[in-house]
Chain A
Amino acid sequence: MTVEHLQDEQIAPVDQADTSDSSVPAKRTLKRVRPREFKPSDVLILFISALSSYSIVWILFDQLTLLNGALGFVVIWIPLFLFMYWVVNRQLFTRQVAIDRVIGSIVTLGAGLMMLPLVMLTIFVVQKGLPQMSWHVLTSTQEGVVYTGAGKHNIGGVGHAIVGTLEQVALAALFGIPAAVLTAVFINEVGGRFTKSVRVIVTAMSGTPAIVAGVFIYSIWVTKFSYSGFAGALALAVILLPTVTRGTEEVLKVVHNDLREASMALAAPEWRTVWSVVLPTARSGLLTSILLGVAVSIGETAPLIMTIFGNQVMNLNVFKGPQMALSLLSYKQIKLPIQSQIDLGYTAALVLFVMVFVVFIAARLLSNGLGRRKGSSSRRSVLSFVRWTPGSSLAPAQPPVGIDIEQTEYEIEEGT
């Protein structure tokens, strides 16, 4: 806490003319400058710098050179704003403050630029996908679709793709998740000479392009059997495995060693320690990493091209015959030259996006649960919100800092 308060202080000499007594030399006091402190006046400085640089660019760009294009405008505006902001802060405060503020603006801009595509993307998908969304589109297939018509009922639906995606992802999770959790347990709990190399392999595998997983399953499975949803599930499992392994490994690392030792002191065998103590303690984090892996694998398109092939009709049997998936349907539809068919692709993309989003939100909620269990320092207890009146006899010298009491439940059965 104390460090938080003391850091970032620059001490700048400020001359204070002493008017009352001229014989005494001007007293020099030290004024503290804290770049981290952002007062209302600083907001004003920021705003005015932005506005004035905007005006200058507007004059230069729109009035003098008659250029146009929002992109070019922004490209000139940003450096000019940074320069102006630097100059103003340099004049008002110190060089350090100016640099810190400018770096802060650059970094904030970076975060903003990062969010921009996500926001635009979400708006785009919802805007394009929502108008033709209906129960009929969600439940019907593309069987007997007439491509030329513009009517409401012959554009087809995405029902077969929803079924395909759900079946393939479920199967992929069935294969991939146990293998991934076991691999993470191997790296973190069992160990051995190969731990490090397995970790490197897993990281390298998580970077293997999805399309390589697709051609691999094609060469090992599809050439012998044929296109099927099962082949797609295998490809998705190959993609899921390293993602979930890495997440699980991180979560297992967080489990306190005391718990393992306590379990072993009670003579629990190793598998029992992992099964009854380590994994339950890491439960919510485990679910988070699993759900994140599932969210990624729902959206994969490339490996499905060469494994499930895609079809137009409902195929409930995941083991036989080509299937469709939402991502693949969307990919195929938007390449067609007919607007109503492209619209169907948008709808499929929207359904896909919603599915990914729901799984993702579930994962985040669970990980917040993990934060509470771990009693992380960023969470404050209710006590810290109680206001204490200074001077009152009840008030302690220091306001209470939030304390989270860690409570971890675990049980070891007797006689194992």
Chain B
Amino acid sequence: MTLLENQSPSLVKPITITTKRSPQDRLFRGIAKGAGFGTFIILFLIGLFLLLKSLPAFESQGIGFLTNTGWQTTGEHPKFGVLSALSGSMVISVIALVVAIPVSIACALFINEYAPDKVMGFVPVKNFLTAAVDLMAAVPSIIYGMWGFFVLQPKMTGMETWLSAHLGFIPLFKNKTGIYTSSFLICGVIVGIMCMPIITSLCREVFSLTPNGEREGAMSLGASRARVIRDVVFPFAKGGMVGSIMLGLGRALGEAIAVAIIISYAFPVNFNVTQAGGGSIAALIALQWGSGGPLGVSALLAAGLVLFIITLAINMVASRIVNSSKAARR
């Protein structure tokens, strides 16, 4: 004490401790940072190369690429655009979300709030459901597509006929051709089923972040599980639910194979969901690949670029919402 007081002021200054990282550590940090920036670079390269290779298509069509509906990439006067494919993607995604959201949220709530750990003492419902949902996310899209085409489609044409006959006054359900297979509705349901596991697992994660204090407080005040869901879980998980639904939307927009198997591709813009014919950007790329000459390839890459930009924008917003809501909880 006295020793310190007797010292000159310059020596009393607190010592700043610095760690000098060893060369190995700096190398390690460098590699890890490099990997982190690698993701930036990959994303940047995707945008750059798609743009470079799709320039011929944009030069040929200009802004028409976004407003044309046909797909004529060869011959004297090529004329093509993604308008119909874009609108088709939107229609399929909306149907998919209408199918997926209620089921996914219900399933997530069941796993998180209602499911007992063990039924009859030995059936681990909770773990089993979680695993099954994860497995559904890993099932290849080709298998969903096959199942949709060969199993679901025959089952759904009856409902489509009914919709068209009884709700045909709504233009959406009107069927002008009398052909009910290969329609937007079937694609939408299949894509919705494919979105379900993603939305479910994300929602489940968000629901489980509900602070236990609030949950138990509500229960000790006599709230039933339904009330806890309505008054505690939902208000806390609102942002995360919106984010996970948007991530599901991103997946729905990008689904190629299942749509390509089911839809009978048609280029006019079509909003009649029960009617055969339609398309989506991803299915357009998958189905048209290898045809249409060099300009055709360029046009498909341009369509890929459009899809990339849309999904990237949606996913950026969604992941921001999910991350910020998570950060707020923790």
Contact = CB atoms under 8 A, between A and B. Distances in A.
A223 B257 CA distance: 23
B159 A198 contact: no
Given A35-B225, A71-B158, A301-B142, A270 B33 contact: no
B128 to A, nearest CB: 9
A104 B114 contact: yes
Contacts of B103: 110, 113-114
Interface string A229-262: 0000000001001100100000000000000000
Interface stretch (A40-48, A189-197, A311-319, A392-400): A189-197
A103 B216 contact: no
Interface residues on B, range: 35 or more
A108 interface: yes
Contact of A117 (B52, B102, B193, B289): B193
A210 interface: yes
A3 B46 contact: no
Given A7-B216, A360-B135, A211 B29 contact: no
A257 B50 CA distance: 43
A366 interface: no
A192 B36 CA distance: 10
A299 B46 CA distance: 22
Contacts of A203: 247, 315, 318-319, 322-323
A111 B139 contact: no
A243 B46 CA distance: 17
Given A6-B219, A200-B316, A241-B39, A223 B106 contact: no
A282 interface: no
Q: Is the interface of A mostly helix, strand, loop or mixed?
A: helix
Contact of A204 (B139, B251, B300, B319): B319
B176 interface: no
A144 B49 CA distance: 38
B12 interface: no
A9 to B, nearest CB: 6
B109 A183 contact: no
A330 B106 contact: no
Interface in A8-40: 8-11, 35-36
A110 B110 contact: yes
Interface residues of A, number: 103
A186 B29 CA distance: 8
A80 interface: no
Contacts of B115: 111
Contacts of A242: 39
A358 to B, nearest CB: 11
Q: Is the interface of B mostly helix, strand, loop or mixed?
A: helix
B115 to A, nearest CB: 7
A107 interface: yes
B305 to A, nearest CB: 8
Interface string A138-179: 000000000000000000000000000000000000000001
Interface stretch (B59-67, B69-77, B143-151): B143-151
A208 B106 contact: no
Contacts of B167: none
B58 interface: no
B117 A378 contact: yes
A125 B135 CA distance: 15
Contact of A353 (B143, B149, B158, B216): B143
A121 interface: yes
Contacts of A271: 24-25, 27-28
Interface string A195-219: 1111111111111111111011011
A115 interface: yes
B141 A110 contact: no
Interface in B158-213: 158-159, 162, 193, 196-197, 200
B49 A219 contact: yes
Contacts of B132: 114-115, 118
A212 B319 contact: no
Contacts of A113: 103, 106-107
A382 B237 CA distance: 37
B134 A107 contact: no
A220 B22 CA distance: 38
A28 B162 CA distance: 56
A349 B146 contact: yes
26 contacts: A6-B219, A8-B222, A8-B223, A71-B159, A96-B224, A103-B226, A108-B114, A110-B105, A113-B106, A115-B129, A190-B29, A194-B36, A198-B37, A207-B311, A215-B285, A218-B301, A219-B301, A241-B42, A269-B25, A292-B138, A330-B142, A331-B257, A334-B146, A335-B261, A349-B142, A353-B143
Given A104-B226, A292-B138, A353-B139, 19 more contacts: A8-B223, A100-B227, A110-B105, A111-B107, A111-B129, A115-B129, A124-B146, A124-B150, A186-B33, A201-B43, A203-B247, A205-B42, A207-B251, A212-B308, A212-B311, A274-B28, A299-B141, A302-B282, A349-B142
Interface of B: 21-22, 24-25, 27-29, 31-40, 42-43, 45-46, 49-50, 52-53, 102-107, 109-111, 113-115, 117, 129, 131-147, 149-151, 155-156, 158-159, 162, 193, 196-197, 200, 216, 219-220, 222-227, 229, 247, 250-251, 253-257, 261, 282, 285-286, 289, 300-301, 304, 307-308, 311-312, 314-316, 318-320, 322-323
Interface of A: 3, 6-11, 35-36, 69, 71-72, 96-97, 99-100, 102-104, 106-111, 113-115, 117-118, 120-121, 124-125, 128, 179, 182-183, 185-187, 189-190, 192, 194-213, 215-216, 218-220, 223, 238, 241-242, 245, 269-271, 274, 292, 295-296, 298-302, 305-306, 327, 330-331, 334-335, 345-346, 349, 352-353, 356-357, 360, 364, 378
